[in-house]
């Protein structure tokens, strides 16, 4: 474990870019939008309206745009967000469109909301960034015990406000031959950084918490398997292989429903294999129930369960499209 000392908020007042860490300030429209997260009734911001939720068809496109869409996420206001990793944008997905909200100046890979703040994983900055109540995007954590992170890739939060994230670096940074990926937790107050697995994984990426029991599921992409972390006793984490996949490159994202079913996005490079994206559905006991075919290409880069129920949101990095699948 290690106590964190967060860097001062930046950029300095009156500037658009911090001279030290080169993080850009957000545009006025993005600040208006994110400020509305703490005031859901406000409608003065310039962000697009939340995504309408018609009864889902078998497959329905719900957004296209950006470059390299990944990590769909529902915010506390019920709106759908995603990350355009190649362009550096955090986007809102609404009314069949994708709307940029802010740009990190790097390569964001995931977002989550906790304690009224927006957190962003970014490979290029090799850090987790945070936008708090001051409206400024700044570094939150970038090292552990004096060593820089490789580049956070996936992130989730629990009901208490604790954050869990994977650290893998860009694809190829941690491999089967050079394992170095990690899984960390950050305490609710942002003061305690704890490794759950340190430097032992092959490109860990998407992760999700089980609705009951506290299990944490982690995708280990280049080992083509899903891991499960459980605590016994509290604060002591144990890791095991929950499911071993075959074919394709490996699992890229995971989500859990209230009944304990686990949905796993299976990623492969475009132009290889069948070219068909897939989502595997696992039972609460860890057996394969079925596979759901995804529209678009094979580069299934993110999934999220619609909190309204009955649908799975899927992003495809090669086509930069977001699809809604009936489940």
pLDDT in tens, 245-260: 998 999 999 999 999 9
Highest mean pLDDT out of 46-55, 59-68, 161-170, 206-215 = 161-170
Q: What percent of the chain clears pLDDT 90, i.e. is strictly above it?
A: 58
Question: Of 42-56, 162-176, 187-201, 250-264, which range is least confident?
Answer: 42-56
Asked if residues 278 and 314 have their Cβ atoms less than 8 Å apart, the reply is no
In this prediction, residues 209-214 reach a mean pLDDT of 85
Query: Can you tell me the mean pLDDT for 24-44?
Result: 42
Tokens read off for 324:
């809604």
Q: 106: which 2 tokens?
A: 């790097």
Which pLDDT score, from 0 to 100, does residue 251 have? 97
Share of the chain above pLDDT 70, in %: 79
Look at residue 206 and tell me whether its pLDDT is greater than 50. Answer: yes
Kindly report each contact of residues 16-21 with a partner whose C-beta sits within 8 Å and lies 24 or more positions away, as own/partner. 18/138, 21/125, 21/138, 21/139
Q: Across the chain, what does the average pLDDT equal? A: 82
Residue 265 contacts residue 285 (beta carbons within 8 Å): no
* Distances, alpha carbon 288 to alpha carbons 229, 241, 282, in Å: 19, 14, 5
What's the pLDDT score for residue 289? Answer: 96
Radius of gyration of the chain, Cα coordinates, nearest whole angstrom: 18
As a whole number of angstroms, the distance between CA 312 and CA 321 comes to: 14
User: Using 50, 70 and 90 to split pLDDT, how confident is the model at 18?
Assistant: very low
Q: What is the mean pLDDT of residues 185-213?
A: 93
Give me the pLDDT at residue 60, please: 53
Q: Are strands 237-244 and 225-231 parallel, antiparallel or unpaired?
A: antiparallel
> What average pLDDT score do residues 46-67 get?
46
| pTM of the predicted protein model | 0.82
């Amino acid at each position: 474990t290690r106590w964190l000392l967060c860097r001062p908020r930046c950029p300095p007042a009156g500037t658009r870019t911090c001279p030290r860490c080169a993080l850009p300030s957000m545009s006025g429209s993005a600040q208006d939008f994110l400020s509305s997260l703490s005031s859901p009734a406000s409608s003065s911001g310039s962000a697009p309206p939340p995504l309408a939720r018609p009864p889902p068809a078998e497959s329905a496109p719900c957004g296209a745009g950006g470059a390299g869409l990944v990590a769909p996420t529902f915010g506390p206001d019920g709106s759908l967000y995603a990350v355009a990793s190649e362009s550096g944008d955090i986007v809102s997905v609404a009314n069949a469109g994708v709307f940029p909200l802010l740009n990190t100046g790097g390569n964001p890979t995931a977002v989550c909301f906790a304690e009224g703040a927006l957190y962003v994983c970014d490979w290029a900055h090799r850090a987790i960034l945070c936008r708090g109540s001051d409206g400024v995007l700044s570094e939150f954590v970038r090292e552990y015990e004096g060593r820089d992170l490789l580049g956070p890739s996936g992130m989730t939060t629990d009901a208490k406000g604790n954050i869990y994230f994977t650290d893998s670096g860009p694809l190829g940074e941690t491999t089967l031959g050079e394992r170095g990926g990690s899984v960390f937790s950050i305490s609710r107050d942002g003061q305690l950084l704890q490794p759950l697995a340190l430097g032992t994984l092959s490109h860990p990426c998407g992760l999700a918490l089980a609705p009951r029991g506290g299990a944490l599921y982690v995708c280990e992409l280049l080992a083509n398997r899903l891991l499960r972390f459980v605590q016994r006793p509290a604060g002591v984490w144990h890791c095991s292989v929950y499911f071993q996949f075959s074919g394709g490159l490996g699992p890229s994202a995971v989500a859990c429903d209230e009944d304990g079913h686990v949905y796993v996005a299976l990623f492969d490079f475009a132009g290889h294999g069948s070219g068909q994206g897939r989502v595997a559905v696992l039972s609460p006991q860890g057996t394969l129930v079925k596979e759901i075919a995804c529209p678009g290409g094979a580069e299934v880069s993110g999934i999220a369960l619609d909190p309204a129920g009955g649908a799975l949101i899927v992003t495809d990095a090669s086509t930069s499209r977001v699809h809604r699948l009936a489940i």
